[in-house]
């Protein structure tokens, strides 16, 4: 995924929580959903949480499991913006500044900043693939930016709203499937 080159591009790419979820989905399942437990290719999308329930085994797979965003209560948009700001700011952005820019309490900003900075120093996959960090490799890894091989990327199919709400006793939902 190509990352935003400018703040304006960033704003265009991630206007809503939905945009962020789609980016996470594309990162996690670039070729369409795959159940982590049974490798099933079909899933229901849960309405209220960023979860996908495997149609075969019922496993609920999270968009953010195993990433620094796991369990995050702050909006994804704020996370994305924090990552963007921290990745592109030449001088180190303080957590106080982050708190002010994002309108979040200082303690939360401090935690987010720490997680993001740690992930950057590890060059975590999730950040790289979100396209938010690879745009500035000089910052991340000290490497000169250069051409990188781009494999064919299949754009994941993203079911359109309204999604399916799953609940006990609800009739078997008819919904859009998507598979790889």
Residues that bind Zn ion (CB under 5 A): 35, 37-38, 40, 54, 56-57, 59
Q: Least separation, in Å, of the C-beta of 18 and Zn ion?
A: 24
Structure tokens at 127: 């950040």
Q: How far apart are CA 84 and CA 133, in angstroms?
A: 7
Nearer residue to Zn ion within complex by CB, 7 or 38: 38
In DSSP terms, 44 is beta-bridged to 53
Edge-to-edge strand ranges of the sheet holding 51-54: 43-45, 51-54, 60-62
Query: Do the Cβ atoms of 42 and 56 come closer than 8 Å?
Result: yes
**What per-residue string of b and e applies to 76-95 under the rule 16 or more CB within 10 Å gives b?**
bbbbbbbbbbbbbeeeebeb
CB of 29 to Zn ion, least distance (A): 13
Q: Which residue lies nearer to Zn ion by CB, 39 or 107? A: 39
Given the complex with Zn ion, which of 106 and 173 has the nearer CB atom?
173
**Joined tokens for residue 95:** 């957590």
Q: Which is nearer to Zn ion, 57 or 105 (CB)?
A: 57
Least Cβ distance, residue 162 to Zn ion (angstroms): 23
Whichever of 26 and 54 has its CB closer to Zn ion, that residue is: 54
CA distances from 34 to 11, 50, 54, 170 (A): 30, 15, 8, 24
CB of 61 to Zn ion, least distance (A): 8
Q: Least CB distance from residue 49 to Zn ion, whole Å? A: 17
């Amino acid at each position: 995924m190509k990352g935003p080159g400018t703040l304006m591009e960033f704003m265009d790419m991630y206007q809503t929580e939905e945009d962020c979820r789609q980016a996470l989905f594309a990162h996690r399942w670039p070729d369409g959903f795959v159940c982590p437990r049974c490798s099933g290719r079909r899933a229901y999308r849960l309405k209220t949480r960023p979860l996908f329930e495997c149609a075969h085994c019922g496993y609920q797979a999270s968009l953010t499991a195993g990433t620094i965003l796991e369990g995050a209560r702050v909006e994804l948009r704020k996370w994305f913006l924090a990552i963007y700001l921290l990745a592109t700011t030449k001088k180190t952005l303080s957590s106080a500044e982050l708190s002010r820019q994002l309108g979040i309490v200082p303690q939360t900003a401090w935690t987010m900043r720490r997680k993001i900075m740690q992930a950057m120093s590890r060059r975590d996959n999730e950040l790289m693939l979100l396209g938010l960090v690879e745009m500035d490799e000089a910052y991340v890894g000290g490497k000169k930016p250069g051409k990188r091989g781009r494999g064919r990327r299949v754009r994941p199919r993203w079911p359109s709203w309204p999604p399916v709400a799953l609940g006990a006793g609800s009739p078997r939902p008819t919904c859009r499937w998507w598979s790889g």
